[in-house]
Structure 1
């Protein structure tokens, strides 16, 4: 029995002292732990990476994104997952990608229309300041094709027919504000002709109506036009870059056809949100440049009408900034209107 003033037995005292020492040791350990640096995060990537593709599945950009994702899977030992987010001329998915956390787990595949969009849309992002360039993946031309019924076989034919019949030639595009629209408007501005724009919701219907003769001319991607040229259903008039296509070595460039300096490429690249770490940029850039050097990579890309590009992040940054400025100048002339 305890007396009026509670006392501790010898056992109680021993247990009390042990508990007190344990508390003191725990406190000391906590202080020591607080003084140490935080544990380092796992090396990137430590989980799947999403590649936002602002275009529908099944198109040329989607094919290049999936090819890139499969090669990055192998190189960086994590899944790279393609996430198609089409809409608003590619701006919907691009904005989602650029507004993601800059942690390296959301990248965005862009095409050459990325530079055009800044001239024709009120964007929810700055296409130069609000992104981190990583690498250009591909580069290629557009291919100017004509329906055989038009008898347009050369750039000279096209210019003469358009000057003789202002606004009577219909030209197709895969959508207002895209690179095909921009390239055609730039061409008309350079040579002083007028044609009528017929925009479609995608490359497939634009090509279908060019084949049917509803439209006379189409500044098309190579991949969609090449089979119809080989089948004799379309005439290849010229390519829009300074270098001829290996697949069509007899088809001249626009520059060779009397419009010096004309150069509108059809390209793809990878970007990330503003603030993306240089560690992530360096790893992805290195991996992409490495796999693009493989012979089968260029062979694969050429099936889509483009060739391997590669290069530094700064080269992609410079291309985007230069093209954005150029398309804005063209839009200021009243071209590139989106109804």
Structure 2
């Protein structure tokens, strides 16, 4: 018979061995679960109303990504404050890969426009990848303002103060026009609307003569001939209006104004999950049918990996933040 101390020692060894076995099983189970991602539907928060460019692109991409990942990607709209409300929800969500958001250009500058900093876009998110570009186009109502190109528009604005409208104070069209005004040394009076739809409606009705619009809102009316495109903000001409010169081609070298969108997850999302989501996004954007669907609504597939998305956010914060500061633009 073993001494009591020996019996206790053996018992301790057995307990330790059992715990080790249980621990090994637990680690294996966790690894198995991690490898099984995703094992439930993924929520994609769109921080804008249904039907807009961000929402439309998210639904097109989400459907294809869901097919690749084997679980549905469900779009949930959480609109408000240039996308800041929905984005804040995602920033505070569990970092498990089941809650994502589609970042769009207006949200990048939200804190500068509203004077609120609910989160840091560079520090509080895992950047999955750039998804699409949304070209902007300067359009005029030809019945109100009969100009053919940007130099003619600027000449007209110097003879008589013109109004221009936008989808809202601090919208990408607003900031792009202010940047152009400063570079071209001409004046126009800004009229702010609550969204692209009412802005386009009044442009078509002749209440205002021109605007820098996202391509999604303007394209149907360009095709119908009700609006005339005179310049695009991107560095190169775009497939939607191939005969329309860029702003850069019309006397403003280096002018670059392109809205865009990309996918993010909360900070701390495991890198293998971020990589898996990035791979699914890339595969979707390489699909010809997805590219065609995006083009049909005025956006273009523009995949770039997470690191490039991080740099693009940083560049936009610097560039457009200066435009906001120089022109004292605020949404408050």
Structure 1 and Structure 2 fold alike (TM over 0.5): yes
Show the counterpart of 2:218. 225
Shift of 1:243: 1.2
Match of 2:132 among 115, 130, 138: 138
- Which string of whole-angstrom CA distances, capped at 9 and with x for unpartnered residues, describes residues 38-74 of structure 1? 2315122111111000000111211111111101110
SS at match of 1:237: strand
Q: CA deviation at 1:189?
A: 1.5
- The structure-2 alpha-carbon separation of the partners of 1:325 and 1:37, relative to structure 1 and needing over 3 Å to count, comes to farther
Q: Secondary structure at the match of 2:258?
A: coil
Greater gyration radius: 1
Match of 2:149 among 151, 154, 179: 154
> How many angstroms apart in 2 are the aligned matches of 1:117 and 1:162?
30
**Aligned 8 A contact 2:61 2:290 in 1:** no
Q: Which residue of 2 aligns with 1:36?
A: 24
Which deviates further from its counterpart, 51-60 or 114-123? 114-123
Pairwise CA distance, 1:287? 1.1
Q: How many residues align?
A: 315
In 2, Cα distance between equivalents of 1:123 and 1:283: 30
Q: 2:233 aligns with which of 240, 247, 252?
A: 240
8 A contact 2:141–2:203 mirrored in 1:
yes
Q: How far apart are the structure 1 equivalents of 2:95 and 2:124?
A: 11
1:117, distance to aligned residue in structure 2 (A): 2.1
Shift of 1:94: 1.1
Deviations 1:166-206 (A, max 9, x none): xx322111111221121111111111122221111111101
Structure 1 counterpart of 2:311:
318
Q: Which of these residues, 138, 159, 162, is aligned with residue 164 of structure 1?
A: 159
Quote how far apart the aligned CAs of 1:33 are.
Answer: 3.8
Report Cα offsets for 1:225-281 as digits up to 9, x if no partner: 112112221110110001112232211000001011111112111011122221111
| Unmatched 5+ stretches in structure 2 | 1-10
TM-score normalized by the length of structure 2: 0.89
* Residue 316 of structure 1, CA deviation: 0.6
Q: Does 1:292 align with 2:285?
A: yes
C-alpha spacing 1:30/1:187, structure 2 compared with 1 (3 Å): same
Distance 1:78 1:35 in 2: 30
Q: Does 1:52 align with 2:42?
A: no
Question: 3-state DSSP class of the match of 2:30?
Answer: coil
TM-score (norm 1): 0.88
Contact residue 175 and residue 324 of structure 2 kept, 8 A:
no
Question: Bigger shift: 71-80 or 153-162?
Answer: 153-162
Deviation at 1:37, TM superposition (A): 5.6
